[in-house]
Amino acid sequence: MQYFILSVLLVLLAVPSTFAGEVDINSADAQTLATELQGIGLTKARAIVEHRDTYGNFASADELALVKGIGLRTVDINRDNIKVGKAKGH
C-alpha cells in the first residue's frame, strides 16, 4: 500500500510540468516564465526579462540561449511551450 501511495504522489508531482502552458517570451513577466518553463527558476526568468529589456525582443526561441545561464538544452526542453510574439528592437 505504501508503494501505491508513493507512486500516486510521484505521478501527481509530475503532472504540472506535463501541462505547462504556452508562454510568449517577448511579453511574459519573470514569474510567468519561471512558472511555465521547465528548468527556469525566478533568477533565470529575471535574466530573460533583463536581456529582453536591454537588447529588444527575441526573434526566435533559440535566442534564449543568449541569456547567461540558459543553454540550448533548456530551450529544446521547452520549445513546444515557447511562443515568440512580434519581435521588435532588432
- pLDDT tens-digit readout, 15-33: 444 456 899 999 999 999 9
3-state secondary structure 10-37: HHHHHHHHHCCCCEECCCCCHHHHHHHC
In the chain the domains, ranked by start, together with CATH numbers, are 2-83 (1.10.150.280)
Is the overall model pTM greater than 0.85, yes or no? no
Question: What pLDDT was estimated at residue 55?
Answer: 97
Quote the radius of gyration of the chain (alpha carbons, Å): 15
Alpha-carbon distance 39 to 43, whole Å? Answer: 11
